[in-house]
Amino acid sequence: MKDNKNLTAYLALAAVCVIWGTTYLALRIGVTQFPPFLFSMLRFLAAGPILVLFMLTIGKAKWPNRRVLVDQAISGLFMVTLGIAMVGWAEVYISSGVAAIICSMMPIWTVLINVLVTKDEKPNWLILLGLATGLAGILMIFAEHLIEFSNANYIRGIVLTFLANLCWAIGSIWIKKNNQNSNPFLNAGLQMLFGGLFLIPISLLLDDYSAIQWNNEVIFSLVYMILIGSVAAYACYSYAIKKLPMTLVSLYAYINPIVAVILGWLILNEKLNFQIGLAIVVTVVGIYLVNRGYQLKNNPINIQHSLFKIGKASISNLKSQTLSPNKMEIKIYQVDAFTNKVFGGNPAAVCPLEEWLPDSVMQNIAMENCLAETAFYVNEKEGLRIRWFTPTVEVDLCGHATLATAFILFNHENFQGDTISFNSRSGQLTVTKSGDMLTLNFPVDTLREVNSIPELEEGLGVKSIKTFKGKTDYMLVFENEDQIINMSPDFKLIGKVDARGIIVTAKGKHVDFVSRFYGPQSGMDEDPVTGSAHTTLTPYWARVLDKTEFSARQLSKRQGDLKCKLIGDRVEIRGQARLYLVGKLFVDL
């Protein structure tokens, strides 16, 4: 079954590589015989509603909120109206092949904008080499068309294509930073719809309607661009990007200009010689180097990792290992959460899954990992769902593993946008990215004060001021930070208390409050940094300190710092994360 799904994904990718390459030719045929903006307007006002209606009915997508609509409208303005439609206008003056080659540089324009507007984006030497190589390829293309630069219309077409690329890049960055985790198919339809609507006044202002001629070539190219170039190609692209690695899917950007140049040469007699062919190769190499530079930048550690004991076997032997039919290969990440350096904070494992494994298998993976938490997530029809396992049990909520999972999605699994929404046993949880800071938004715990518990008093060795019971944990409040630092629990004794774990806390010397978390009942004597415990700690200290924003520190050996904020019945918990390991598991099913 998995092989069939992969075959379908590869066929979808092949379709994208060919179809989007042919659209330059179809667009050229259409705009040279028909008002260019009117042609694009009709295309998107047809393709957009088709995709929207399909998703709202058969796709069962929900109509988005106002914020999502505004984001798609802005993206549609830049990517469709000022991007794709402007390329159509440019192709009135330049060949489809030249337009395709310039547009293939889109990843490079995006990098340049990120460098200028995003302080966190610092290109490495490979990215810079790719930029220079890609630019050299474009200059080689222009060198073959020097005589055409005496034509003002040719220069206009070149300038328009570059401006269209700039607008597309701006729109892409906008939607990436303002994505609301809504349906990507529906978003694409809305972008085309809004882009078509914005084209109405532009067409009325700039198009010459006396040039309208409905011939077979125009009708065929328009229908092709609507049904094949827009609806079908985007559906294939979305399916491929969901099933295949992004680095593989990005191959379409290398193949599209080759298809466009060859078709332009075969059908429209556009120029093609050895130097232009070499220039295409140079441009494609530049794009590859940029993409490769970002892969190395975002994946500093790439270690083949196995949960089976392999003795003295080398990494090369592991790489060549052939999986038996009853074994499954699963990607695994290990992330240090609530810290800005490796070996700090709280380590968590993260396993992306295409579909849920049996609970027993996930529990065994967590046990073998021997970390406080292993998080698993699946992109279900209703959205991302996350589950957490300690070495012995599945838990209802885990903060640091959720932070780690969001970190992986943002930085290594191609999630588009700055806010992730997870479905979980504790309801909806969101994580928002701002630079390298991640903010969890969790529901507050419900607290009630209870009588002191003898096993806890004896097991902790220090008498608490107050004892509280939350949904899953007990929380004990102590007089000062030193008592928390010097605490040496009897884990066997406190492990007899029926709870997920025990939170101990006191007012801090250098932060608002400090804490530690003990969970022998859940297979971990002491958890280094416990995000979920701060859904209990924050509302308590809000009442005591009469404030809503806090600096917090968990005083384990690894130690971790958190920023917490109480907002009604929700708690925001902020922290950083660092990647430690990328690997593969080989498990029996």
Q: Residue 202 — φ and ψ, nearest 5°?
A: -65, -40
How many C-beta atoms surround the C-beta of residue 451 within 10 A? 7
The whole-angstrom distance between residue 526's C-alpha and the CA centroid of its chain comes to: 32
Q: Provide the token pair at 237.
A: 């692209």
Contacts of 48 (CB under 8 A, 6+ apart): 189, 190, 191, 192, 193, 194, 195, 196
Q: Is 329 a catalytic residue?
A: no
Contacts of 439 (CB under 8 A, 6+ apart): 431, 432, 433, 572, 573, 574
Q: Residue 296 — φ and ψ, nearest 5°?
A: -65, -35
From 270, 373, 481, 526, the catalytic residue: 373
Contact 448, 475 (CB under 8 A): no
| Residue for token pair 């109405």 | 200
Phi-psi category of residue 446: left, alpha or beta, with phi > 0 → left and psi -120 to 50 → alpha: beta
Half-sphere exposure of 321 (CA within 13 A, CB side): 21
Angle between helices 233-243 and 184-206 (to 10 degrees): 150
The Cα–Cα gap between 278 and 300 comes to 33
DSSP string covering 231-248: IIHHHHHHHHHHHS-HHH
The Cα–Cα gap between 325 and 319 comes to 17
- Going by the DSSP 8-state scheme, the letter that residue 134 receives in this structure is H
The Cα–Cα gap between 262 and 455 comes to 79
- Going by the DSSP 8-state scheme, the letter that residue 179 receives in this structure is -
Q: Provide the token pair at 219.
A: 């009708």
| Residue for token pair 């084209």 | 199
**Where do runs of H (alpha helix) occur along 413-514?**
454-460, 481-485, 491-494
Burial class (CB in 10 A: 0-12, 13-18, 19+), 120: exposed
The residues carrying an active-site annotation are 373
